[in-house]
Structure 1
Amino acid sequence: MKLYTCILLIYFYDGVISTSPEFDALLARLAVTEARQDMSEKTIESLKSKLSAAEQQIQKLQIQGSQRSKSEKNFPRNVSDHRRSILPGVAIGFTACVSVPDVKSLGVHHTIVYDRIITNTAGAYHNSTGIFTAPYKGLYVFSSTAMSVAGHTQYLDIVKDGATVNTFLADGLGNQGFEATGNQWVLELDQGSEIWIRTSHAGEIHGNCFTLFSGFLLSETE
């Protein structure tokens, strides 16, 4: 509602009614003011409309964020653990080999030292002792390839914390050349558990990196 108060000065000249110049100027200013007010009201209505649309969009995004948060909470922990375990700087894995040509005069329960490191991403394998130490509790995969000297056999054990898990054989008996065998194990380890390969009985093995030991973390466990 617009309310204008003004003083009207009217002149009579030769029978013609005439307003003062001041009144004409006032009317012109009032017209400009009214036009500006109308434009401001339209701008305010436009801003209100945009604000309402923005509030609706924010509410929609909040609902989507809440649904995503619930989905992440229900995501299987073992999958997220496995994903975390393969990130750079956290992945656990190694491969090492026996670099010397032959390891002879091995005694019973002699630890095989795989001295040449090919991969050792977290430093969990120790090439001075031949022992892998688990940095996390989890499910690990280990494999070993052993090559026997021609005409000889060699029984080997994979050992977990001092106890034999499995025995395998590199059998070159009766052969004129070298004989290799490969084996793989999936083992659940506690943090700090130790794994290594040792002889089951006295003998010798061929090196030159044909005898290898590998392992990696498959997934962390609680």
Structure 2
Amino acid sequence: MLGKTVLVTIFLASISVTFASTVDRISDSDEIYRRFDNLERRIQTLESENKLLRGELEKQNVSLGTLKSDLATQYGNLDLSQRTLKQDIKNQYILLLKTQNEVKTNYTELRFKIDTDVREIRDSLAVTNETLQTVTDFQGKKLIQLEGTLESLKNDVRNVNSRTGETPPSFYALLTSTVPIRGSNQTIIYDKTGTNNGNAYNTSTGIFTVPETGTYVFTWTAFSYVEEYVRLEIVVAGTIYGGTLSDTQETGDADTETAIVVANAKVGDEVFIRTQSRGPGDGRLYVEFECTSTFSGWKIS
């Protein structure tokens, strides 16, 4: 605005000089007045234009100030957003580090627990295998002893047969399927016979009916399952002659128990195996492959 004012002043001065020179050359007063009026109107026009320019410049200054204020506000908002974003990124990074540390800690604890569990299971399996081997060895020795006893009894029978020339009453019966123990005085029905000389054993009732008076050998084997126990007894003519307890509650393995009795019996006496009245057991007479429960008897004299 100051520059325009200076230009107007210079312009007026130039006009004044021109006017003075012209006055010197023009003698006619009317011409002078006419030109002076024109010059005055020209000056008024320039002043009006200068006023308009000054107003426009003021408007531009106001617009410029508004623009500066808007830019400052936007810059402030942008700076605030930038600081907020930086803080959010920082917080997320801290949270990520914390989560990473927690994951590492949990992984370490889980790995330690898994290793501990694996060691415990390995140790338990080692103990179990050792126990199984011990039980197997014991059962093997026991089986060998029973086989020896049975062979001896067979020899005795053969000797008796060779002396008499006749086949005495004898039977060998076994279970073909597992029998659950339901209570006291439950007769065990051995449903299959391998030997039944004289047909005195009944596979439907489990009872051997003495066909000839004399002395008999009776034996039975109870095969019970893991963590169960079974109490059996033999009844000859209404009298209990002996019993067995097959117990696997503490060994954690299957078990077999065998008993042998010698009894004098008369024709018509009934001989059978049943559960004991005092604590019959809580389990089953088990069948697995060739392993089963058996009942046998034969006359020796």
Q: Which amino acid aligns with 2:199?
A: G
Q: Which residue is 1:103 aligned to?
A: 179
The CA distance in 1 between the partners of 2:181 and 2:266, in whole Å, is 34
Q: Which amino acid aligns with 1:147?
A: F
Shift of 1:80: 8.9
Alignment root-mean-square deviation, CA: 2.1
User: Would you tell me which structure has more helix in proportion to its own residues?
Assistant: 2
Q: Is the 8 A contact 2:200 2:208 kept in 1?
A: yes
Shift of 1:91: 2.1
Matched, 1:167 2:247: no
Q: Which residue is 1:118 aligned to?
A: 194
Q: TM-score, normalised by structure 2?
A: 0.43
Shift of 1:175: 2.6
For residues 13-55 of structure 1, the C-alpha deviation after alignment (integer angstroms, 9 at most, x for no partner) is xxxxxxxxxxxxxxxxxxxxxxxxxxxxxxxxxxxxxxxxxxx
Q: Which amino acid aligns with 2:186?
A: H
Identity %: 32
Q: Is the 8 A contact 2:161 2:168 kept in 1?
A: no
Q: Secondary structure at the match of 1:113?
A: coil
The CA distance in 2 between the partners of 1:112 and 1:162, in whole Å, is 15
Q: Which residue is 1:213 aligned to?
A: 295
Q: Please list, as runs of the form range in 1=range in 2, the aligned pairs for 1:88-99 lying within 5 A after superposition.
A: 90-99=167-176
Q: Is the 8 A contact 2:172 2:294 kept in 1?
A: yes
- How many residues are paired up? 137
Q: Secondary structure at the match of 1:170?
A: strand
Q: Please list, as runs of the form range in 1=range in 2, the aligned pairs for 1:46-125 lying within 5 A after superposition.
A: 83-84=163-164, 87=166, 90-100=167-177, 102-125=178-201
Shift of 1:107: 1.6
Q: Which runs of 5+ in 2 are unaligned?
A: 1-158
Q: Which amino acid aligns with 1:184?
A: I
Q: TM-score, normalised by structure 1?
A: 0.57
Matched, 1:149 2:225: yes
Q: Which runs of 5+ in 1 are unaligned?
A: 1-78
The CA distance in 2 between the partners of 1:214 and 1:191, in whole Å, is 18
Higher relative contact order (CA 8 A, sep 6+): 1
Change (3 A) 1:81 1:138: farther
For residues 64-123 of structure 1, the C-alpha deviation after alignment (integer angstroms, 9 at most, x for no partner) is xxxxxxxxxxxxxxx999833x51xx42111010110x2114221000000011110110
Change (3 A) 1:158 1:143: same
Larger radius of gyration: 2
